[in-house]
Chains A and B, each alone.
Chain A
Amino acid sequence: DAGVIQSPRHEVTEMGQEVTLRCKPISGHNSLFWYRQTMMRGLELLIYFNNNVPIDDSGMPEDRFSAKMPNASFSTLKIQPSEPRDSAVYFCASRQGYSGNTIYFGEGSWLTVV
């Protein structure tokens, strides 16, 4: 089975530009998560969706960040405008069924904002 698929794997962009990260969860999984990993803060949950509905976005750092899940097989995380401090690895993860089930991570999107 295909795992969680993220794109792009690597992106370098200039400060002020819009960045869109994409995620395809594992087929049949009804929960989707966006995490960010930095050296300073480690792994942080940004937002998660259940059945395409955003449930908790309290981890989204500021209004420059937005996430959507228009259908069960696709989600985006957008940063506009991007800043150097947004440089990080962004992970998408998905889970099937109830909260006790395991969360599976994608390979991550490396973002560098210069």
Chain B
Amino acid sequence: AQTVTQSQPEMSVQEAETVTLSCTYDTSESDYYLFWYKQPPSRQMILVIRQEAYKQQNATENRFSVNFQKAAKSFSLKISDSQLGDAAMYFCAYRSASGNEKLTFGTGTRLTIIP
């Protein structure tokens, strides 16, 4: 079974600085998808960024980028120019490309932005 590990329960960063959230996963599959979701206090799950395992190029969405290391099974999220609105829980998630629809989530990292 696949597992997703987020080893940082909490992180904090000064406004306008850069922060990196860690995520590792365990799988025997070669084709899969990885996601970062943001959950603000409103509790809604908001997609931040996604990565297809077959793509070597790291995904980027504005201030958000990932460092995808397939061999190391690592999928970290970098947030540049942190803003107060980035404060939230961040969840890393894995989904197989084989037809199993289950999204496996990590336990989350609570990010605090210091003004």
**Residues on A facing B (Cβ under 8 Å):** 31, 33, 35, 42-43, 45, 48, 55-56, 59, 89, 91, 93, 99-100, 102-108, 110
Contacts and interface: CB of A to CB of B under 8 A. Distances in A.
Contacts of B11: none
26 contacts: A33-B103, A35-B103, A42-B105, A42-B106, A42-B108, A43-B91, A48-B101, A56-B102, A59-B102, A89-B43, A93-B45, A99-B97, A99-B101, A100-B33, A100-B52, A100-B97, A102-B35, A103-B47, A103-B103, A105-B44, A105-B45, A105-B46, A106-B44, A107-B44, A108-B44, A108-B45
Nearest to B96: A99
Given A45-B103, A106-B44, 13 more contacts: A42-B106, A42-B108, A43-B91, A43-B103, A43-B105, A45-B102, A56-B102, A91-B45, A99-B99, A99-B101, A100-B52, A105-B37, A108-B44
Nearest to A105: B45
Interface string B89-115: 001000101010111011110000000
A55 B99 CA distance: 11
Contact of A108 (B43, B101, B106): B43
Contacts of A59: 102
Contacts of B95: 99
A28 B42 CA distance: 26
A89 B42 CA distance: 11
Nearest to B95: A99
